[in-house]
Amino acid sequence: MPRARTAYQVEKDKGTWGALSEEQQILQAVQAEVKSLKDANLRLKNNKKDGEKDKSKSKKKQKQKKEKKVNTDRDPEPKWKLSTPKQSEPKQKVVEGKKYYWCPHHNDGKGKWMLHTISECRSNPNNSDGKSTQHTVNVGHSTGHGSGTSGGGGGSK
Ligand SMILES: [Zn+2]
In tens digits, the chain (157 residues) has pLDDT values of 566 666 666 666 666 555 668 888 888 988 999 898 888 888 887 776 665 556 555 555 555 556 666 655 666 778 999 999 999 999 999 999 999 999 999 999 999 999 999 999 988 878 765 454 445 455 555 555 555 555 555 555 5
CA of 91 to the centre of ligand 1 (A): 12
* Residue-range domain boundaries for the chain: 7-56, 79-122
CA of 123 to the centre of ligand 1 (A): 6
Does the reported pTM lie above 0.95?
Answer: no
CA of 122 to the centre of ligand 1 (A): 6
DSSP the chain: -PPPP-HHHHHHHHTSSTTS-HHHHHHHHHHHHHHHHHHHHHHHHHHHHHHHHHHHHHHHHHT---PPPP--S--SS-GGGGSPPPTTS-SEEEETTEEEEEETTSTTTT-EEESS-TTT-SS-HHHHT---------------------PPP----
CA of 136 to the centre of ligand 1 (A): 29
